[in-house]
Amino acid sequence: MVSKSFHMLLYHPQTSQQVENTNRALKRILEKTAVENRLVQLNELDELRLDAYENSFSYKEKTKRWHDAHLRERKEFEPGQKVLLYNSRFKFSPGKLQSRWSGPFVVTQAFSPGHVELIGSDGECFKVNGHRLKLYYEGFNETEKEDLTFYSEET
């Protein structure tokens, strides 16, 4: 009978009441610390999430300020102005010495959201987005040229 109980103690510790009580106590302690650790981890995770949200919010604000500071001022076109139209077909390969701008066209009417009505040299009217336009500066006339004379110190 002694050998049987010794065998039971070695290979089946659950049969011993003292071992069972110790195991239950260890289990309770581990569960308690696991729950506390889990709560601490959840709190840390929540803090990290809030920090990430604040960082993304400040990043968005800085990006918006930078973007707004680098915006070009809006192009305002008046009726009667001459403009050049960007030809988007030549965006990737315009060809050698071929301009991407066509025109000049005359502005007939400017609408509020940035659309502009143009008239071509053939008299055809059409509407385009104002972002595709730039002002056309006419060249100098022959009468506006100044005659410059250079004097040397020898004469």
pLDDT along the chain (155 residues), means of 10: 51 65 83 82 88 91 88 77 80 68 85 82 84 80 62 65
Burial 76-99 (b: 16+ CB within 10 A, else e): ebeeebebbbbeeeeeeeeeeeee
Cβ-count burial of 116 within 10 angstroms (0-12 exposed, 13-18 middle, 19+ buried)? buried
Q: Which CATH number fits domain 82-140: 2.30.30.140, 1.10.3720.10, 3.90.550.10, 3.30.470.30?
A: 2.30.30.140
pLDDT of residue 131: 81
For the chain, domain boundaries? 2-69, 82-140
Query: Which among 126, 79, 87 has a CA at the least distance from the CA of 106?
Result: 79
